[in-house]
């Protein structure tokens, strides 16, 4: 089962990193907490950061979109630089087209009060005070069609380590929003030129890229997210050992708790009962004697 779970998070940091406006949490995206995660084929990928490109870096059916939002995830079990060696980077791409409605998400992230970016240069940053709810903002898109292929980063050094999920349904941005971003990233903007496919294959609505296979883990017990254990059928020796062990334990308990009867008492009284010393008055007289 695959799941997308992004948490509403406040106090995110927006920064101009020289080639995009990038959003991270206070821990700089190096924590498993905060922004959320997706699960694909039993693997957890935590969201480290997201950023936007103008125009889009993917072309769908010959159409290049006005903007493309990238949500960059990294596998939990290869946290850090090892993910770049194990192809454990997952990027979700969301498209935007110019329409009548502005994007509330982009306005919250990058365009507070629709003020154009004046003085926003490399190294500029600010804090987003209000909670950012990615799941609510992107929900309609995430329920739609998507393309799946294995590719590279779109920024240097462009390592071929990315699991790409490119969603087909676009969101809307206003002309004012588009022009505000272009003021910060004028042509040739901050997008990698569209490259030929060079025979690369793409799957539609599949969690596996062409050529990839996935064998789900089937087990009786999951000790954690990676370790499993199956129920083993007991052998006759195990059953016999349990029976013998129960008998031995019962005998030991009997010896430890039972009190040995006094044989001399048995010879003196039936059932081993002996008379005790008298208690209280030894003789009862008439009622008048007690007056």
226 pLDDT more than 70: no
37 pLDDT more than 50: yes
> From residue 13, how far is each of 20, 115, 147 by CA, in Å?
13, 18, 30
Mean pLDDT of 25-36: 64
pLDDT computed for residue 70 by the predictor = 95
The domain covering 3-216 belongs, at the CATH homologous superfamily level, to: Alpha carbonic anhydrase (3.10.200.10)
| Domain ranges across the chain | 3-216
Catalytically active residues are 19
pLDDT computed for residue 170 by the predictor = 95
Mean pLDDT of 35-44: 84
Is the pLDDT higher at 227 or at 133? 133
Instruction: Provide the 10 A C-beta neighbour count for residue 101.
Output: 9
Q: For residue 12, what are the β-bridge partners?
A: 128
Q: DSSP characters for 216-253?
A: ----SEESSSS-EEPPPPPPHHHHHHHHHHHHHHHHHH
User: Which pLDDT band, with edges at 50, 70 and 90, does 95 fall under?
Assistant: very high
- Could you report the per-residue pLDDT of 151-170, keeping only the tens digit for each? 887 777 777 778 999 999 99
Q: Is 232 exposed, middle or buried (0-12, 13-18, 19+ CB in 10 A)?
A: exposed
Q: Which two tokens stand for residue 148?
A: 């799946």
pLDDT computed for residue 285 by the predictor = 54
Mean pLDDT of 234-248: 88
């Amino acid at each position: 089962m695959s799941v997308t779970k992004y948490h509403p998070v406040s106090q995110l940091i927006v920064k101009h990193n020289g080639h995009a406006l990038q959003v991270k949490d206070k821990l700089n995206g190096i924590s498993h907490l905060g922004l959320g995660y997706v699960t694909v084929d039993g693997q957890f990928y935590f969201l480290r950061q997201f950023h936007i490109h103008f125009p889009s870096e993917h072309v769908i059916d010959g159409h290049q979109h006005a903007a493309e939002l990238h949500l960059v995830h990294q596998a939990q079990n290869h946290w850090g630089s090892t993910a770049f060696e194990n192809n454990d980077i997952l990027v979700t791409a969301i498209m935007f087209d110019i329409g009548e409605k502005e994007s509330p998400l982009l306005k919250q992230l990058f365009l507070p009060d629709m003020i154009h970016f004046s003085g926003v240069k490399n190294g500029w940053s600010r804090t987003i005070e209000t909670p950012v709810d990615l799941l609510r903002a992107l929900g309609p898109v995430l329920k739609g069609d998507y393309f799946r292929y294995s590719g590279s980063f779109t920024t240097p050094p462009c390592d071929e380590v990315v699991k790409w999920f490119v969603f087909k349904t676009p969101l809307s941005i206003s002309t004012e929003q588009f022009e505000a971003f272009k003021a910060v990233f004028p042509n040739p903007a901050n997008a990698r030129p569209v490259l030929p496919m060079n025979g690369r294959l793409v799957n539609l609505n599949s969690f596996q890229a062409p050529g990839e296979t996935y064998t789900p883990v089937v087990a009786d017990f999951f000790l954690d997210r990676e370790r499993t254990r199956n129920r083993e059928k007991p052998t006759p020796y195990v059953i016999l050992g349990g029976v013998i062990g129960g008998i031995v334990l019962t005998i030991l308990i009997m010896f430890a708790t039972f009190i040995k009867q006094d044989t001399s008492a048995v010879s003196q009284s039936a059932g081993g009962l002996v008379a005790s010393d008298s208690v209280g008055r030894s003789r009862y007289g008439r009622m008048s004697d007690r007056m």
